[in-house]
Amino acid sequence: MAVYNAPLNDMRFILNDVFNAPKFWQNNENLAHVDIETVDMILEEMAKLSKNILLPINRSGDEEGATFQGDGVVTTPTGFKEAYKQFAESGWVGLSGNAEYGGQGFPKMVTMLTEEMVFTANQSFALYPNLTVGATLCLNAAASEEQKQTYLEKMYNGEWAGTMCLTEPHAGTDLGIIKTKAVPNDDGSFDISGTKIFITGGEHDLTDNIIHLVLAKTPNAPEGSKGISLFVVPKFLVNEDGSLGERNTLAVGSIEHKMGIKASATCVMNFDNAKGWMVGAENTGLSSMFIMMNYERVTMGLQGLGGSELAYQNAALYANDRGQGRSDTQLQSPEKPADAIIHHADVRRMLLNAKANTEASRCFAMYVAKNLDEEKFSTDPELAKAASARVALLTPVAKAFLTDKALEATIDCQQVFGGHGYIREWGMEQIVRDTRIAQIYEGTNGIQALDLLGRKVARNNGKYVTHFLGEIRDFIGNMKADHGIKQATLDAADTIEALTQTVLGNIGERKNEVNGCAVDYMHAFGYLAYSYMFALMVEAANGKEGDFYTNKAKLADYFVGRILPRIESHAQMVQAGSDPMMNFDLDYFNVPAS
């Protein structure tokens, strides 16, 4: 079985030293109830639960998988129901929930760390409460007071679960062409009919009820995405006293057989005149859903971080134990027939790639989380507005770059094991399989890159980027630490500034510029973001004694020398434009059917 010990010291360093969370909370009247002593206990408890309860059912859950009984019943693997009961009863589902409806009111800066631990220990399990949390975010922001009173408390305490039902067989990214219909009834309800696919946790045996948030169109809705409305459609109807009533006319048609996250039930959901109620105003469903999507996309970045953290810990342990060959420098273990592979430079390269990724990813996720909290809780409209702009710019990066680099890290760590990494015994192949999905769902990473370059950069002529670069340059100009990360980050900022201007200048002449350059632009931008994060960490560690802090600077050295240079290759690919891929005639891609 894989091993996992939550990196609490690294988490505390990011929370306290880099971002000074206690000061941030105390300076915000809406977060003044949060204190570091309580947060520290929360992290300690989640570290125990993740290691002792969730990790032991990770591999067995993958091997058993979620099971579809054929009569609309889905069962989770052995141990999941008991683990979820403990998880819910301990208050984890409602950790960030609105206290007015039974939540605990903790900010994203805290919950991102607990979410990381859950994803690290068991990616499949993490998705069940994660979708519930996302659904409560949406309901809290857009639902009526009656709907909040009806659903939120029991979702926060884990009695009921939640889903988000967007995708249809013919409509994935292009939600404007969904076919699910919502026909109004005289009592204010709607009859919801249609089929949704890829619904995480659409059916399972963990909770008494499942509250589906469903995108659908009313009879006279405008064409496209402007005609989408949002509906709350419970598995069991809820009586006026809060008790469960009759079963709604919706059912799971099947579950998907997937590459990874096999213990997570990914369902085809059929709605047959199911009773639903509109959330928010008519035709505002997409904007309501995107309230949760920003949080969910950051959370997918945490899934990637969790996969790379688990892979790194197990690869590092293996590298210290596995004897193979002799060190290039000197005999390390003369009493043994071979030296541990940790002494080989190429093995260290793979481990340090993963380690640099986990530390930069965690720091970047915390940076975005802080801005989410500023946007949500700040009493200063200008601060909230500035934070909202940073969230808009950086959310696609948090989702796409973190998960792209996470898969790369898990593969590096699998490679450390050699042939043993390819077989089930060591658990590395499961980590790779599970992490892969994070690049695909919640908007594929290509779509995230298009969102970054097309909407967040081109649409406002680079305004958000200019502000972000200004922040970076101001910080670097005030750094006290003497480290190469300073100049490296300034150079990276210059690269992104020039690259942004190049793309903006080419858009009018190259019709495929955004689509053809988006992914490479996103990766170049991501490396700048990571460089900024390493600068933050180096400055926070500056002047502090001990190997823990010294190693922060050493890892930044590795990043500057061995990882950050990749920014230039992505910049060159952006500058090459889209012509090299669009110059082929369509016939080139025609493949004979037989």
| pLDDT, tens only, 6-34 | 999 999 999 999 999 999 999 999 999 99
Distances (CA, A) of 13 to 19, 31, 40, 537, 549: 9, 20, 12, 9, 9
pLDDT-derived band at 332 (thresholds 50, 70, 90) equals: confident
**Residue 99 contacts residue 105 (beta carbons within 8 Å):** yes
Helix or strand run (H / E) with residue 10: helix 8-12
Closest residue by Cα to residue 406 from 337, 492, 496, 305: 305
The pLDDT value recorded for residue 192 is 98
**Residue 15 contacts residue 366 (beta carbons within 8 Å):** yes
**Residue 108 contacts residue 115 (beta carbons within 8 Å):** no
The pLDDT value recorded for residue 246 is 98
CA 558 from chain centre, in angstroms, equals 25
β-strand 160-165 against 209-216: which pairing, if any?
Answer: parallel
For the stretch 202-216, pLDDT in tens is 999 999 999 999 999
Query: What is the C-alpha to C-alpha distance for residues 78 and 83, in angstroms, rounded to an integer?
Result: 10
Query: DSSP E strands: which ranges in 522-563?
Result: none
Taking residues 227-234, what's their average pLDDT? 97
Tokens of 388: 């909202």
Query: What is the C-alpha to C-alpha distance for residues 155 and 524, in angstroms, rounded to an integer?
Result: 40
- Give the 3-state secondary structure of residue 245: strand
Sequential DSSP letters for 469-528: HHHHHHHHHT--S--THHHHHHHHHHHHHHHHHHHHHHTTT-TTHHHHHHHHHHHHHHHH
574's CB contacts (< 8 A; 6+ apart) are 499, 502, 503, 517, 520, 521, 524
Least confident of 245-259, 275-289, 501-515, 569-583: 501-515
Tokens of 133: 């949390």
**Residue 348 contacts residue 342 (beta carbons within 8 Å):** yes
pLDDT-derived band at 528 (thresholds 50, 70, 90) equals: very high
Over 90: is that where the pLDDT of 336 sits? Answer: no
* For helices 513-541 and 485-506, angle between their N-to-C axes, nearest 10 degrees: 160
Please, which residues bridge with residue 445 across strands? Answer: none
Query: What is the C-alpha to C-alpha distance for residues 406 and 486, in angstroms, rounded to an integer?
Result: 25
Helices in 66-201 by DSSP H: which ranges? 80-89, 108-121, 123-142, 145-156
For the stretch 381-414, pLDDT in tens is 999 999 999 999 999 999 999 999 999 999 999 9
Percent above pLDDT 70 for the chain: 99
Closest residue by Cα to residue 54 from 142, 114, 104, 118: 118
**Residue 340 contacts residue 438 (beta carbons within 8 Å):** no
Taking residues 175-186, what's their average pLDDT? 93
Which residue reads 């958000």 in tokens? Answer: 464
Least confident of 41-45, 158-162, 489-493, 506-510: 506-510
Length of the chain in residues, anyone? 594
The pLDDT value recorded for residue 270 is 97
Query: What is the C-alpha to C-alpha distance for residues 464 and 289, in angstroms, rounded to an integer?
Result: 23
pLDDT-derived band at 331 (thresholds 50, 70, 90) equals: low
Sequential DSSP letters for 271-315: EEEEEEEEESSTT-HHHHHHHHHHHHHHHHHHHHHHHHHHHHHHH
Looking at residue 227, its amino acid is G
pLDDT-derived band at 251 (thresholds 50, 70, 90) equals: very high
**Residue 430 contacts residue 251 (beta carbons within 8 Å):** no
Query: DSSP E strands: which ranges in 222-265?
Result: 229-234, 236-238, 244-247, 250-255
pLDDT-derived band at 328 (thresholds 50, 70, 90) equals: confident
Looking at the annotation, which residues are catalytic? 442
Distances (CA, A) of 311 to 43, 103, 490, 553: 21, 33, 32, 23
Over 90: is that where the pLDDT of 276 sits? Answer: yes
Over 70: is that where the pLDDT of 333 sits? Answer: no
Backbone angles phi, psi at 240, to 5 degrees: -60, -30
Handedness of CA 541, 547, 550, 552 (dihedral sign): negative
For the stretch 457-483, pLDDT in tens is 999 999 999 999 999 999 999 999 999
Query: What is the C-alpha to C-alpha distance for residues 357 and 241, in angstroms, rounded to an integer?
Result: 50
Which residue reads 């079963």 in tokens? Answer: 247
pLDDT-derived band at 327 (thresholds 50, 70, 90) equals: confident
Average pLDDT, the chain: 95
The pLDDT value recorded for residue 172 is 75
